[in-house]
Every structure is written in C-alpha cells, then in structure tokens.
C-alpha cells in the first residue's frame, strides 16, 4: 500500500533518538507520502523544523501542548517557568518558515492535572494565532469536550481534531463547521465501537489518518513503538467500515490531508 499520509506524528520524541534517521529514511519505501510532525512546546520546534527541512515529505506544525504547562522537561517549564505568553511570543517568528503548515499540537487536557483556566487561555490564544496567520490547527482534546466545543464553535478553525473521541452527533456539527477528524491505531482495537459509528456517519471527505507515533500502535503491532507505516492497518480497519479496500481509504484520506494543510 502507498499514499499514506500521517497527520499527527512526534518523530522528535526521545523514543526515536537511537534510529530517527533510519526510520524516517525508510518511510517512503514503506508507502508513506506525507507526515505532519507536531511540536508540543518551543523546545521541540527546532527539531520539528529540522526534520521538515531534511525530508521533503515531512511538514511542520508548531504549538504549545496543554501538558507542557506541567511537564518538567518541557521548555514551557524549564525555560519560561510557566509563562506561555512569553514562549508563544518567542515562537511567533518561526511561523514564517514555509515548512510550517499548521498550529499544533494545541488543545485541552483534563486527564492530567493541568490548571484548567491556564490551559484554556493558552488554547484560545493559539486559536487566535491560527486565525491571524490563516493556518489550520492540530487539536488535542482529552476529557475536555465541553470547553473544547465551546471554543471550536466560537473560533470555527479549520484543521484536524486529532484522535477523535467524541460522539457521532458531535462529529456531525464539527464536520459541518469544516473540521476534519483524525483516526489512528485505536480504530483497530476491539473496543472501538464509538469510532466505528463515527466513521460510518461522517462523509469520507472529513476523515484523516494519524499515528500519534511513537504512541498508539494499531493491532497487530500494539504495544510496540509506532510509526507512520502502521497506518496501513488503520486503513484496513476503516475499509471494512466504509466498504472499500485499504488503498482507497489511503487515497481519500491523503487527499483530505493535502487539502487541509494546503499542500
């Protein structure tokens, strides 16, 4: 299979430190045509841009993840001591780089003890930045649907709600508003009934595929480090839902991704 487009990856993760170049160099032969590499704070940004400059199929997304407000090794904490406003201001010139195709990874996370108002303000500021720069967003939403949907309704960004975990009803208005929904390894798990219902309900033009690598590996490689080649398993599962072969799923979702990120 080919024409794999991974709309959410983290190859700057330390889990790739030992063999990053080898993995990335092997992706095209494994059918990978595109990757959106997402930063999670300013400390990631240089690495993300370096990958996008070195590998023609890699594109950059820059942003501050909500968890970076509390992660001890994130630049948000180590350099800016929680002052995300200063960090975002320092990152601002980087968005002029032509390799930057989105603002991300940004969003809300109520699974971890991240101060709620602070992450809400951070997310809102980055939605405003995306609107100002006319860039799509790559959005993280974990156990924060109410506040997330409030802001998405208000700002109406274009982009991807990554690792979509909401209901089919919410999916309907989100895609009507212009958001794409990201699906990855979790679609292949036995308990993925809600995702299957969402995929069956939305237009094929509203779905994109992702890994969130090195995390969220699909069956049959669950429990191992993930990479973009494993999206072939995700496409196979979605093909069963959509009544088409996996290659057709890859072609449709790759076209959706290219349109979203203006590639």
Q: Where are the domains of the chain?
A: 4-260
Average pLDDT, the chain: 97
What CATH class has 4-260? Answer: alpha beta
Residue 188 pLDDT:
97
Residues 84-118: pLDDT tens digits? 999 999 999 999 999 999 999 999 999 999 999 99
**Strands across the sheet with 207-209, in order?**
4-9, 32-38, 58-62, 100-109, 137-142, 159-162, 179-183, 207-209
- Predicted TM-score of the model (pTM): 0.97
Q: Select from 112, 121, 158, 114 the least CA-distant residue to 139.
A: 158
Residue 32 pLDDT:
98
pLDDT band at 191 (very low <50, low <70, confident <90, very high): confident
SS3 19: coil
What is the share, in percent, of the chain residues with pLDDT greater than 90?
98
pLDDT at 3 over 90: yes
pLDDT band at 83 (very low <50, low <70, confident <90, very high): very high
């Amino acid at each position: 299979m080919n024409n794999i487009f991974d709309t959410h990856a983290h190859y700057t993760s330390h889990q790739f430190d030992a063999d990053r170049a080898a993995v990335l160099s092997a992706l095209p032969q494994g059918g990978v045509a595109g990757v959106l590499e997402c930063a999670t704070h300013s400390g990631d940004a240089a690495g993300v841009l370096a990958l996008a400059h070195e590998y023609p199929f890699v594109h950059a997304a820059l942003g501050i993840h909500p968890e970076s407000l509390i992660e001890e090794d994130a630049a948000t904490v180590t350099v800016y001591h929680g002052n995300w406003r200063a960090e975002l201001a320092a990152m601002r010139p980087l968005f002029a780089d032509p390799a930057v195709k989105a603002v991300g990874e940004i969003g809300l996370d109520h699974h971890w003890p991240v101060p709620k108002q602070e992450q809400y303000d951070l997310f809102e500021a980055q939605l405003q930045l995306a609107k100002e720069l006319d860039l799509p967003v790559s959005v993280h939403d974990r156990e924060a649907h109410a506040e997330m949907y409030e802001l998405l309704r208000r700002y109406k960004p274009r982009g991807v709600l990554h690792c979509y975990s909401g209901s089919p009803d919410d999916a309907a208005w989100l895609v009507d508003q212009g958001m794409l929904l990201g699906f990855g390894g979790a679609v292949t798990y036995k308990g993925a009934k809600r995702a299957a219902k969402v995929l069956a309900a939305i237009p094929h033009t509203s779905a994109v595929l992702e890994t969130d690598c090195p995390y969220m590996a699909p069956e049959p490689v669950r429990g191992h480090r993930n990479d973009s080649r494993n999206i072939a398993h995700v496409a196979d599962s979605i093909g069963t839902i959509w009544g088409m072969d996996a290659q057709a799923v890859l072609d449709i979702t790759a076209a959706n991704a290219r349109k979203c990120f203006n590639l």
